[in-house]
Structure 1
Amino acid sequence: MRIAVAGGTGCVGKLVVERARAAGHDVVVISRSQGVDLTNGAGLDDALRNVATVVDVSNIQTISKRASTRFFETTTRNLLKAEQRCGVNHHVLLSIVGIDRVNWGYYHGKRRQEGLVLAGPVPATILRATQFFEFAVQSLTLFPGPVAVVPRMRTQPVAAAEVAAELVRLAEGPALGRVPELAGPEVMMMSSAVRRVATVRGPRKAVISVPWPSAAGRSMANGGLLPAGPGPRGTLRFGQWLTETAKTDAAQ
């Protein structure tokens, strides 16, 4: 099968590309570095030639409702229109657990993206996943200095590699609409995960957990980002992942 991965050079995208190629699929990477721009549609028709399924894991780093909505509306419309022109028959979207319960600016854009995909011209599957283990590393290293400030958040994080594996599995099958949410095997506070990263692999920092002064912040702290029902669960635990990645870092 010929699969295109939108955002194929990002954290999850690279893993989706690797997993799909390991499964024997012909993979097209959609990214600006490959001459394809989702924001204006440049290069999309050529990239989607003879593609059966598109996996969209494209992203923007913002907390702005306006910026998030503008990005996801524009890129999703461009992608769906090009898929329709090129005869793509399955669109697989990665989304986030809890975006309909936590009214945060970035999540507004993701909700809009989901709506466009489900109402769009290409049969679709949407997988919502919880925060990745890698998010704890990003939270620790986001800003320089001796202190990392982390929002108070209950989470059930999952390994990005397990998210990638589930996306490829879904891409290989028929469109299913919204599927059960994917989460990791254990619930924890995000600040606890970040402290463990600081201790095991560094950089060593003081980690401060701060509640966001808003309804969205209260929802995050009270479990709004946890899965609301049964669904697939990752098997890799955070401690095991952290030990393995620390060993890999030390060997490089």
Structure 2
Amino acid sequence: MRIAVVGASGRIGREVVDVLKNQGHEVIGITRAAGVDVYTGEGLAEALAGVEAVVDAVNAPTTETAAVTDFFRTIAHNVQRAAAAVAAKRIVLVSIIGIDAFTAGHYAGKLAQEQAYQDGPVPVRIMRAAQFHEFTEMMLDWTTRGDTAYVPKTRTQLVAARTVAEKLAELVVDEAGIERVEIAGPQELNLAAATAKLAARRGNPAHVEEIVDTDDPNHEPQADGALLPGPDAILAGPTFDEWLDRLYPAQP
């Protein structure tokens, strides 16, 4: 099957590309480095020539609400238009669990993206995922000041990016796949506590502090469990501790 992956060089995109290629599919990586700008549409029609399905795993360069909403919405319209022109069978989008409860930032942008895709002519399947295990690495990168990382209070059910990629690959090739599914890890976690485990394995920062940023309009739903999966979600390992042991083995 000839499948295009939008955001093929990103955290999820590169995993999806690897899974699909290992299964014998012809994969077209849609990236700026490959000469395609999905926001402006430059090169997109040519890149999708002969494509039977599209996976959208693109990430945004900003979290500012208006900008990220415009970014994701514009890309959805562009991909829908180009996919329809080549009579693609389906588009599969990776999104985020619980975003209906959020009004700002990245979550609001992803919700706009879902809606824009659903307005288009090509059938869309949406996989809403929990935050990735790898999100703890991003938390340390984003929030560390001096010897302390300040992590927003968040209830989550972290899942491995590779696991999500494998399920996305299943969804894009399955002729009878469902329109919407959730996927999360096997256990609920406190994000700050999980990030602290990672920091301990890395050896820095020295401290991880859980904070509540009342200036963030998303702080209440994050803390109250809006990002947790529903009862029908796919729950799949590895656990966070298993992932941590594999990537950051404990020192003897």
Same fold (TM over 0.5): yes
C-alpha separation in 1, matches of 2:235 and 2:78:
32
Q: Deviations over 1:76-135 (max 9, x none)?
A: 111111111122111000000010023332211111111111221101100000000000
C-alpha separation in 2, matches of 1:215 and 1:137:
23
What residue is the counterpart of 1:188 in the other structure? 189
SS in 2 for 1:148: strand
What number of residue pairs does the alignment pair up? 249
Question: In the alignment, is the contact (CA less than 8 A) between 1:130 and 1:183 conserved in 2?
Answer: yes
Question: In the alignment, is the contact (CA less than 8 A) between 2:20 and 2:27 conserved in 1?
Answer: yes
Which structure 1 segments of 5+ residues have no match? none
Q: Over aligned residue pairs, what C-alpha RMSD do you find?
A: 1.7
Is 2:160 aligned against 1:146?
A: no
Q: Which amino acid aligns with 2:115?
A: G
What residue is the counterpart of 2:246 in the other structure? 244
C-alpha separation in 1, matches of 2:100 and 2:19:
29
What residue is the counterpart of 2:21 in the other structure? 21
What residue is the counterpart of 2:114 in the other structure? 114
C-alpha separation in 1, matches of 2:176 and 2:12:
21
Alignment of 1:1-252 (within 5 A): 1-142=1-142, 143=144, 145-174=146-175, 176=177, 178-213=179-214, 216-247=218-249
Question: In the alignment, is the contact (CA less than 8 A) between 1:91 and 1:175 conserved in 2?
Answer: no
C-alpha separation in 1, matches of 2:206 and 2:67:
31
Once the two structures are TM-superposed, the CA of residue 228 in structure 1 deviates from its matched residue by: 2.4
- Cα–Cα, structure 1 residues 151 and 175, in superposed 2: closer, same or farther, change >3 Å? farther
Range moving further from structure 2, 91-100 or 43-52: 43-52
C-alpha separation in 1, matches of 2:63 and 2:221:
16
- Cα–Cα, structure 1 residues 238 and 94, in superposed 2: closer, same or farther, change >3 Å? same
Question: In the alignment, is the contact (CA less than 8 A) between 2:89 and 2:122 conserved in 1?
Answer: yes
Once the two structures are TM-superposed, the CA of residue 215 in structure 1 deviates from its matched residue by: 5.1
Question: In the alignment, is the contact (CA less than 8 A) between 1:90 and 1:174 conserved in 2?
Answer: no
Q: Which amino acid aligns with 2:164?
A: V
C-alpha separation in 2, matches of 1:77 and 1:205:
45
Once the two structures are TM-superposed, the CA of residue 65 in structure 1 deviates from its matched residue by: 1.0
Q: Which amino acid aligns with 2:171?
A: L
C-alpha separation in 2, matches of 1:64 and 1:224:
20
Question: In the alignment, is the contact (CA less than 8 A) between 2:149 and 2:205 conserved in 1?
Answer: no
Give identity over the alignment, percent: 38
C-alpha separation in 2, matches of 1:56 and 1:188:
27
- Cα–Cα, structure 1 residues 101 and 177, in superposed 2: closer, same or farther, change >3 Å? farther
Once the two structures are TM-superposed, the CA of residue 46 in structure 1 deviates from its matched residue by: 1.4
- Cα–Cα, structure 1 residues 215 and 203, in superposed 2: closer, same or farther, change >3 Å? same
Q: Deviations over 1:172-216 (max 9, x none)?
A: 013756422101001011001100001113433311111131552
Q: Which amino acid aligns with 1:245?
A: L
Question: In the alignment, is the contact (CA less than 8 A) between 2:102 and 2:108 conserved in 1?
Answer: no
